[in-house]
Structure 1
């Protein structure tokens, strides 16, 4: 039992002759008749009766044709699945984000350019998103400090650094910057292991000679943000990690001023129109964020 034999039987049943079936399938008439005869011989059944020069399906053939129609539809669905990742008309793209921003702004720009493409978004830590790209669970990731890895195709989106975030009612809120030495005297809110934000924070405290114990360790940026909003302590985030401007104050930490590249990345061997279109949107987005001299415009 093969798909080609099933197609041959279905085409003969629909057209009434080997010749017409051959034309529909774009193969030779002997090939069609051979596939039908081989099926009849192998299973000891008669699939067609000839009446007035027309091949009519037997009851067994009619049942087989019902199955053939379902198989043909499954084949069409499979074809759509395989092709939708390489079309700009009704394709589908899955994007993994480590931070809501600037990823969501980038996705909005992509949707504006290609409104017919279905976009699915998955969020997670730096490790989660990187792993999802490597295992092809997502098509494209957007992260800061993407590993320099030959397996990845990458496109710079923007450069940004990590900042401290504080509630406006705290004494720290009046300052524009705060040092690690001052921060260790505050209740601190850290991210869990695997967070790109936390890696930067840990490096900065170690370089300054401190090993602080946090009040809270939370698994998402949003949880850290809400903890700060509720006055639980000082948190950390990427400067442009959210579009929210309410409540919290962003403070520069001198030990964390180094800027890291936020990039879109995908597996280097993934080549498709959708990938090319997304990376083209990244380049356009970056150009909009930069001034005429190539410097990042203030947010």
Structure 2
């Protein structure tokens, strides 16, 4: 065999030829290699003939129905596999860059905070990503995750189950909220018994806030009656601002601070964690980046 100069060998070792060599090495035949690479058997054969011609050597010998690699081919394969893997890594980097430049991310939020703050920090760092936000009750957003309508969500009290992956981002508790002129506004703390005689503003079923409120009254062996039932947090805030009664909200659940006063409730003081979470099966660069995104580090 005539020895090739290094520059001649490099010009012969195109990525297409090396990929064909790898495919035949790993599948054992031209036809199987063609199926793996979604090309014809003739294309694989041509790539290897061109490589053998350029290298001035044989790489495979046919034995019965199998293609048996020569010792030289086996040595080349060790490095050609690394070259193809490196090419795949480069392609992934380019794909990720493209996605982070012009991709779309679907986010579900149960409360404006902390979700909106996280989305805002994320978009500041990745300004070209199109973020679509779905907001609603805990039940609605949880269902949106399980049905795949959103890629990732921010909610309190996400189940610790294998089907989900979750990351804690903060803790908060449910508090009572009243108008600043309400008799309870100056209290440092109230109890469920204190609230029983008030006009109470509840959330609809499926709300994480309402689940905590219901649990607190049950624990106190009390049966409250709602004066108003609303399906949104903003509706509860507006009702309190208009002096329609005592509402409830997560203590860090809104950026709005005017028109109402937060009062800790003794039976609701336990803090619950907020999580960014998705289905364990969710794949894709943007959901993975958002899931791991820590606004404090950027």
Instruction: Answer whether TM exceeds 0.5 for this pair.
Output: yes
- 3-state DSSP class of the match of 1:228? helix
Task: Tell me, in whole angstroms, the C-alpha distance in 2 between the residues paired with 1:267 and 1:86.
Answer: 24
Deviation of 1:247 after TM superposition, in Å, equals: 1.1
The TM-score, its normalising length taken from structure 1, stands at 0.66
* 2:171 equivalent in structure 1: 159
Q: Runs ≥4 in structure 1, deviation > 6 angstroms?
A: 83-86
Deviation of 1:272 after TM superposition, in Å, equals: 2.1
- 3-state DSSP class of the match of 2:184? helix
* 1:183 equivalent in structure 2: 195
- 3-state DSSP class of the match of 1:88? helix
Task: Tell me, in whole angstroms, the C-alpha distance in 1 between the residues paired with 2:279 and 2:291.
Answer: 13
Where in structure 2 are the equivalents of 1:73-84 lying within 5 Å?
none
Question: 2:172 touches 2:272 (CA, 8 Å); kept in 1?
Answer: yes
Question: 2:102 touches 2:130 (CA, 8 Å); kept in 1?
Answer: yes
Q: Which of 133, 140, 155 is residue 145 of structure 2 equivalent to? A: 133
Question: 1:84 touches 1:92 (CA, 8 Å); kept in 2?
Answer: no
* 2:111 equivalent in structure 1: 99
CA gap of 1:212–1:86, structure 2 versus 1, over 3 A, is: farther
Task: Tell me, in whole angstroms, the C-alpha distance in 2 between the residues paired with 1:85 and 1:241.
Answer: 33
* 2:237 equivalent in structure 1: 225
Question: 1:85 touches 1:274 (CA, 8 Å); kept in 2?
Answer: no
Aligned-CA RMSD value:
2.2
In structure 1, stretches of 5+ residues that fail to align are 1-25, 32-82, 289-299
Q: Which of 231, 239, 242 is residue 254 of structure 2 equivalent to? A: 242
- 3-state DSSP class of the match of 1:171? coil
* 1:146 equivalent in structure 2: 158
Q: Per-residue CA shift, 1:161-196, capped at 9, x if unaligned?
A: 000000001110111211111000110000000000
The TM-score, its normalising length taken from structure 2, stands at 0.67
CA gap of 1:145–1:86, structure 2 versus 1, over 3 A, is: farther
Task: Tell me, in whole angstroms, the C-alpha distance in 2 between the residues paired with 1:229 and 1:235.
Answer: 10
